[in-house]
Amino acid sequence: MLLHYVSDMPANYCEVALPVPLRLAFTYAIPDRLAGSIFAGSRVLVPFRNRAMTGVVVEVSSRRPDPARVKTVKEIVEALDPIPALTPKLLELGRWVGGYYVAPLGEVFRAMLPPQVDLRHERELLLTDAGRARRDELDAAGNRSEAEVAELALLSLLRIEDRPVRADRLRKLPGGESAAERLLRRRQLEAREVTLHRHARLQKIVAWDSTEDVSSLGEKEARVYHVLAEERGPLPLPALAKLAKVSRSLIERLIRQEKLKSWEEPLAVEEDLFEVDYTPPSNILNADQGRALGEINGWLEAGAFHVGLLYGVTGSGKTEVYLGAVEAALALNKTALILVPEIALTLWIGRFCRARLGASVAVLHSALPEVERAREWWRVRRGEARVVVGTRSAVFAPLENLGLVVVDEEQEASYKQEETPRYHGRDVAIVRAKLEGAVALLGSATPSLESFHNARSGKYHLLQLESRVENRPLAPVEIVDLREDFRATHRAGPLSSKLSEAIAARLDQGTQSLILINRRGYSWFVICRSCGAGIQCENCSISLAYHKQRDRLECHYCGFSRRVPKACPKCASVASGKVDILVGTQMVAKGHDFQRVTLVGVVSADSQLSLPDFRAAERTFQLLTQVAGRAGRGALPGEVLVETYYPEHYAIQLAARQDYLAFFERELQFRRLLHYPPFTALASVLVRHTKIENAIRWSRQLSAFLAPQESRGVKVLGPAAAPLARLKREYRFQFLLKAPKRAQLTRVLSELLTFSEEKEIPERAVLVDVDPLSLF
């Protein structure tokens, strides 16, 4: 389909947010043929800068745009949704996200929407009159250069085809790529964008569709009913035949009899992620769990916005409380959303929910194939799934009549999106609950300082699970002082003698050990045992990783690579010049239930303490407490060994005692004194460019704008070289903005971006992160 440009002005207009880094919406006209099919929240295809682009309608109006502001109004090409993809509540939520995180609305909506699997944009080239003349001229010429030969081939092909040809086909001709560029520049060719609907392979999905009395069904029909209506929900036809142990022709017959309805859907890559015969444990709630659930049920019945913080030590049975709350929400005819911090947990909790709640559970996370994710998303949008389990972006799942949002492990950093829009899933979840008059339930054994502070000050309701289920004891934690170990053994291996012995004992016993290596590297890297120096990337100033197969050191950010040096580059004078390779693995063991683990060892427990980050102590405390909670979860008692060079640090001491409250008090004091969250709203602004002059000039310009803001209550630190001062060949400078009042901060950031646009600083050179979790 071609893009049309308007001639006369039709009666209706709309504002469309497009996924471009501009903080405004664009006005388009609604052509007559689309009248009545475009609403706020609809996805539409529009022409934008010579291309076709998908956007979201934010407003429809009959007001003619001010001709002084908008010169030509283009028409919407196509409406993409039979029902608007975004509900009014989600549009409102998107506006909030855009405002709070100063992010372009179109990019916010793009993050909220399912992947677009049914459309493909393509470029076609066609011959102009000048192109035809050029072809004849080249054809007649006797002596042609190589470039001219390529041009002639391309032009001739277009003339023979006598219609527009796909650009990628022409580029494949010898020299075609640059010939096409030249011909376009000279207007001997013309390009245009076309949008094609992809024809996905389809499969037949069937669902139960009869109100007939179940007791009157035949045996086979009853099996079909059971699978579709009670166990699983709509299924592809072959899967149903297999699960219900019936023939396909029986299913076809039931469709004809209208006991089943059926429709076509794109073929999903993975049919079902859940084990079919999983029976979840049916636990009887203990007194603490019962009390917490009782309170939550009260809020749900009241139907008003509440935030509960479910604070319970590891292994206290929070999952049971979540599920009880979900059941209560469903019983009130509402829907529920469960957010978890990592993909593996969506399967674990999703499986639990499927088994307990049946058909209406959808799972949404970024590792699903796009087709599958889109299918799940639309299943939710059409109201077929009433419970969603997912990771961060599932906070935007299009559930209506939302009653409950659960955020499991609310302190986890993975809830923060590290690209535009840089939102925090937990915070968006709370705002969403507020917009929908729902209950937000945050759960953690080590709540973030912010959340616990809110619970203590009465903004949230604190719900506590005091002990582990069945009163299993928390495993004793012992701190191993690595300095002492080194003095005694004169060995600085990765494992202390104490930890090695403990692991050996577990191997003898036949129980399991869990060893957490608290390093942020992904793989092997090289350090010198004499001077401790690592080898860093010349572009990025971060450690290079060792790749065994290629026997080289490589940078994970920019790809720079070098040979492994024979001697240490820092202390080449050291006689032995020996280079040792140590292991550094990132291994996270949160939330999973390990029944047979009796030893947890933590290697380099303090490696995060020295990072230049005000949350370093909090992260260390959380990690140690969480990992210690993995020991002794089953019937077997456990033991935890924590190795450290800083045994006296309060984060390590208090984690060893698993004393969250003491840690909270101490850390809160520090935050108050130094004006950090939760006492201050924080944002960082990064300026980046490959040319250092530009990075410096723009930083100066922004600095000049920011300096006077101190009088409005916003403190500005910087510009300083960012912690990763050079990344992917870009130079990076950073500001940190602190404000006691959130509204001031938001206003200054928004004005800063406007200022930056006026100064024509490229959009991608300025990155704003509101409530940053890590500094760039």
CB of residue 325 vs ligand ADP: minimum separation in angstroms?
13
Q: Establish if 658 lies at the interface with ligand ADP (CB under 6 A).
A: no
CB of residue 688 vs Zn ion: minimum separation in angstroms?
15
Residue with Cβ nearer Zn ion (32 or 538) = 538
Beta bridge partners of 47: 52
CB of residue 769 vs Zn ion: minimum separation in angstroms?
22
The Cβ-side half-sphere exposure at 550, using a 13 Å CA radius, reads 10
Lookup: tokens for 369: 């194939």
> According to CB under 6 A, which residues from 470 to 499 bind ligand ADP?
470
Contacts with 617 (C-beta within 8 Å, 6 or more apart), sequence order: 609, 649, 650, 651, 667, 670
Measured distance CA(310)–CA(318) in Å, rounded: 8
620 binds, among ligand ADP, Zn ion, none (CB under 5 to 8 A by kind): none
Nearest to 284 by CA among 522, 470, 47: 470
CB of residue 314 vs ligand ADP: minimum separation in angstroms?
4
Lookup: tokens for 231: 């166990």
Interacting span for Zn ion (CB under 5 A) from 41-49, 557-565, 646-654, 680-688: 557-565
Using CB under 6 A, which of 156, 178, 283, 573 touches ligand ADP? 283
Interacting span for ligand ADP (CB under 6 A) from 238-246, 313-321, 651-659, 707-715: 313-321
Residue with Cβ nearer Zn ion (414 or 561) = 561
**Interface mask toward ligand ADP for 243-282; x: CB under 6 A:** --------------------------------------x-
Measured distance CA(186)–CA(688) in Å, rounded: 35
Q: Residue 661 — left, alpha, or beta (φ > 0 → left; ψ -120 to 50 → alpha)? A: alpha
Length of the chain as a residue count: 776
Q: Could you tell me the sign of the dihedral formed by the alpha carbons of 541, 544, 550, 552, in that order?
A: positive
CB of residue 718 vs Zn ion: minimum separation in angstroms?
23
CB of residue 567 vs ligand ADP: minimum separation in angstroms?
49
Q: Establish if 724 lies at the interface with Zn ion (CB under 5 A).
A: no
Residue with Cβ nearer ligand ADP (314 or 598) = 314
Residue 69: CB atoms within 10 Å: 7
Q: Establish if 347 lies at the interface with ligand ADP (CB under 6 A).
A: no
Using CB under 6 A, which of 119, 332, 469, 558 touches ligand ADP? 469
Using CB under 5 A, which of 555, 597, 706, 749 touches Zn ion? 555
Interacting span for Zn ion (CB under 5 A) from 265-273, 538-546, 735-743, 761-769: 538-546
CB of residue 471 vs ligand ADP: minimum separation in angstroms?
11
Task: Kindly give the residue spans of alpha helices, DSSP state H, lying in 172-215.
Answer: 176-185
Contacts with 158 (C-beta within 8 Å, 6 or more apart), sequence order: 125, 126, 127, 131, 165, 170, 189
Nearest to 150 by CA among 124, 170, 164: 170
Interacting span for ligand ADP (CB under 6 A) from 109-117, 203-211, 221-229, 308-316: 308-316
Residue with Cβ nearer Zn ion (433 or 535) = 535
444 binds, among Zn ion, ligand ADP, none (CB under 5 to 8 A by kind): none
469 binds, among Zn ion, ligand ADP, none (CB under 5 to 8 A by kind): ligand ADP
Residue 538 gets which letter from DSSP? T
* Residue 584 near residue 519 (C-beta atoms within 8 A): yes
Interacting span for ligand ADP (CB under 6 A) from 87-95, 310-318, 499-507, 508-516: 310-318
> According to CB under 5 A, which residues from 318 to 347 bind Zn ion?
none
Measured distance CA(451)–CA(564) in Å, rounded: 46
719 upstream amide cis, omega within 30 of 0: yes
Calculate the CA dihedral of residues 516, 517, 519, 523 and round it to 10 degrees: -120
Lookup: tokens for 507: 């191997």
> According to CB under 5 A, which residues from 560 to 579 bind Zn ion?
560
Residue with Cβ nearer ligand ADP (349 or 702) = 349
Using CB under 6 A, which of 319, 346, 680, 734 touches ligand ADP? 319
Interacting span for ligand ADP (CB under 6 A) from 41-49, 247-255, 307-315, 398-406: 307-315
Residue with Cβ nearer Zn ion (222 or 558) = 558
Residue 506: CB atoms within 10 Å: 18
Using CB under 6 A, which of 12, 27, 195, 316 touches ligand ADP? 316
39 binds, among ligand ADP, Zn ion, none (CB under 5 to 8 A by kind): none
Measured distance CA(563)–CA(90) in Å, rounded: 52
* Residue 726 near residue 736 (C-beta atoms within 8 A): no
Residue with Cβ nearer ligand ADP (97 or 340) = 340
Using CB under 5 A, which of 338, 537, 640, 651 touches Zn ion? 537
Using CB under 6 A, which of 40, 217, 239, 285 touches ligand ADP? 285
Using CB under 6 A, which of 15, 320, 606, 769 touches ligand ADP? 320
Interacting span for ligand ADP (CB under 6 A) from 79-87, 193-201, 318-326, 515-523: 318-326
Interacting span for ligand ADP (CB under 6 A) from 317-325, 384-392, 416-424, 428-436: 317-325
Q: Establish if 684 lies at the interface with ligand ADP (CB under 6 A).
A: no
Measured distance CA(187)–CA(181) in Å, rounded: 10
Query: What is residue 620's three-state secondary structure?
Result: helix
Q: Establish if 315 lies at the interface with ligand ADP (CB under 6 A).
A: yes
Distances (CA, A) of 5 to 197, 259, 481: 21, 48, 73
Q: Residue 546 — left, alpha, or beta (φ > 0 → left; ψ -120 to 50 → alpha)? A: beta
Q: Establish if 632 lies at the interface with ligand ADP (CB under 6 A).
A: no
First to last CA, the chain: 43
Question: How many binding residues for ligand ADP (CB under 6 A)?
Answer: 17
Using CB under 6 A, which of 318, 422, 461, 671 touches ligand ADP? 318
Question: How many binding residues for Zn ion (CB under 5 A)?
Answer: 7
Residue with Cβ nearer ligand ADP (591 or 772) = 591
Q: Establish if 557 lies at the interface with Zn ion (CB under 5 A).
A: yes
Nearest to 397 by CA among 411, 408, 410, 386: 386
Q: Establish if 19 lies at the interface with ligand ADP (CB under 6 A).
A: no
Measured distance CA(387)–CA(497) in Å, rounded: 49
Distances (CA, A) of 765 to 49, 154, 323, 467, 654: 21, 38, 45, 50, 42
CB of residue 628 vs ligand ADP: minimum separation in angstroms?
12
Residue environment code for 548-574, b if the CB has 16+ CB neighbours within 10 A, otherwise e: eeeeebbbebbebeeeeeeebeeeeee
**Interface mask toward ligand ADP for 581-610; x: CB under 6 A:** ------------x-----------------
114 upstream amide cis, omega within 30 of 0: no
611 binds, among Zn ion, ligand ADP, none (CB under 5 to 8 A by kind): none
Residue with Cβ nearer ligand ADP (527 or 589) = 589
CB of residue 632 vs ligand ADP: minimum separation in angstroms?
12
Residue with Cβ nearer ligand ADP (345 or 385) = 345
Measured distance CA(444)–CA(454) in Å, rounded: 14
Starting from the edge strand earliest in sequence, which strands make up the sheet with 512-517, in order? 477-481, 639-644, 597-603, 512-517
Binding-site ranges for Zn ion (CB under 5 A):
537, 539-540, 555, 557-558, 560
Binding-site ranges for ligand ADP (CB under 6 A):
281, 283-286, 289, 312, 314-320, 469-470, 593
